[in-house]
Amino acid sequence: MKLLIHTIFCLMLCLTAAAQTKVTKKIAAKATDTGLTYSLPKTTITFRIEIIRTTAKAGPYYRYADKYLGVKNAIEADETSYQLGKIHVSTRGIPDTEQTYLIDFKPGTTSPYAYLTDEGLLCTINAEYEPSAEETPATPVPVPATADPVEEPAPVFLEELLMAGSIAKQAEVAAKQIYRIHESRLNILTGEADNLPPDGEAMKVVIQELERREKALTALFTGSSTKETQYHELTIVPYKDLEREVLFRFSTQRGLVDADDLGGTPVYIRLTAQETPVAPAPNPKDAKKKEDPKGLVYNIPGKAQIQIDINRETLYKGETLVAQFGRRDLLTPALFEDRKKPVRIYFYPETGAIRQIIQ
């Protein structure tokens, strides 16, 4: 995948909470004589892919499920299959090593300071940093198993089954046990049992135990299946439009496979720049400033549309901001010369864009 510049491919069976952005306060006089060094971000796009794995196990008496229980769709062989679930898309800013700048304050400016991330991305100038809602990702919720493993039948039942001899005879004995449980439960519920539980709570416990035994014995005929939700993460750094690029491939027998594995069905991504901020008309007098900018360089990110398809089905469609699809602009150092009311500037460190300016 030539157009997918940077790829991180990892399996996450259990997600951990995303850490909040770590920031450090920097004072200009301690960084350089009159300025602070920072980096503008470039946008990475992460695809969190949900894969549902189903593990099916055949019961030893599956051939007799229809005969004794009237079940026609019993599991006949052990099998593991995969289903493609939802795709969640998120973005993150990482330092662009080719876009590192100096905030050049004039001597005498009132105690300029800034908050930077540990990676050197700009958060605020002359203001305390408080992450916005967009910068604080929600804590992922662990996905519980969708089905509990079927318990083994009670030891007394297992002993009786083994004494039955042939598989056919064992199946007959197991079926009779299931019918006995049915009858016992019905007698308790109708009050016709010889020894009824003394109270409602005791009755509830007895009924639950009978249901557990019935489920375990029934699974000997019908088989059992459990589902487990897995997550894969795939991260790209786009620099231009992507047109039906293979993001990954998917196999119902093996799950998510690499984009070069022809054993899976291709999952395509379309990524198109929707809004590219238009730069003002160039001024010949500003040519020197562009070569050696003085002041604060920041991003005006562009907007991109993302669509992910498999066969003719759309798995995801949405929009996101991408710093690489935008442009850079400049704030003059004169903004920081008011000693009485120093300007306060808040940024989105994920995109390098200005969130708010307070004078």
349 and 291, same structural domain? yes
User: Which residue range is the domain that position 174 belongs to?
Assistant: 151-222
289 and 334, same structural domain? yes
Residues, the chain: 359
Name, in order, each residue with C-beta under 8 angstroms of 198's C-beta and a sequence gap of 6 or more: none
User: Does residue 3 lie in a domain region?
Assistant: no
**Residue 21: predicted pLDDT:** 45
8 Å CB contact between 175 and 71: no
336: three-class secondary structure by DSSP = helix
Query: Which of 2-11, 318-327, 339-348 is modeled with the greatest confidence?
Result: 318-327
14 and 140, same structural domain? yes
294 and 330, same structural domain? yes
160 and 92, same structural domain? no
- Count of CB atoms within 10 A of residue 30's CB? 8
139 and 288, same structural domain? yes
8 Å CB contact between 310 and 84: yes
Query: Which of 8-22, 31-45, 144-158 is modeled with the greatest confidence?
Result: 31-45
34 and 112, same structural domain? yes
Q: Please report the sign of the dihedral spanned by the C-alpha atoms of residue 250, residue 256, residue 258, residue 263.
A: negative
131 and 171, same structural domain? no
User: Does residue 64 lie in a domain region?
Assistant: no
291-313 per-position pLDDT tens digit = 555 668 899 999 999 999 999 89
**Residue 305: predicted pLDDT:** 96
User: Does residue 172 lie in a domain region?
Assistant: yes
**Residue 219: predicted pLDDT:** 93
169 and 139, same structural domain? no
More confident residue, 195 or 255: 255
User: Does residue 313 lie in a domain region?
Assistant: no
pLDDT at 142 over 50: no
How far apart (Å, rounded) are the C-alpha atoms in residues 238 and 45? 8
User: Does residue 65 lie in a domain region?
Assistant: no
User: Does residue 42 lie in a domain region?
Assistant: yes
285 and 217, same structural domain? no
User: Does residue 157 lie in a domain region?
Assistant: yes
How far apart (Å, rounded) are the C-alpha atoms in residues 169 and 167? 5
User: Does residue 299 lie in a domain region?
Assistant: yes
Amino acid at the residue 130: E
Q: Please report the sign of the dihedral spanned by the C-alpha atoms of residue 215, residue 217, residue 220, residue 222.
A: negative
175-203 per-position pLDDT tens digit = 999 999 988 888 888 877 777 777 888 88
94-140 per-position pLDDT tens digit = 999 899 987 766 665 555 778 888 888 999 888 888 776 555 454 44
Q: Nearest CA to 299 among 336, 326, 339?
A: 326
296 and 166, same structural domain? no
Q: Nearest CA to 168 among 216, 221, 218?
A: 221
182 and 204, same structural domain? yes
DSSP E strand boundaries for 58-143: 79-104, 113-117, 122-125
Q: Average pLDDT for residues 67-75, to the nearest whole number?
A: 93
**Residue 24: predicted pLDDT:** 56
Q: Total domain count for the chain?
A: 2
Beta bridge partners of 187: none
206-235 per-position pLDDT tens digit = 888 889 989 999 999 999 999 999 999 999
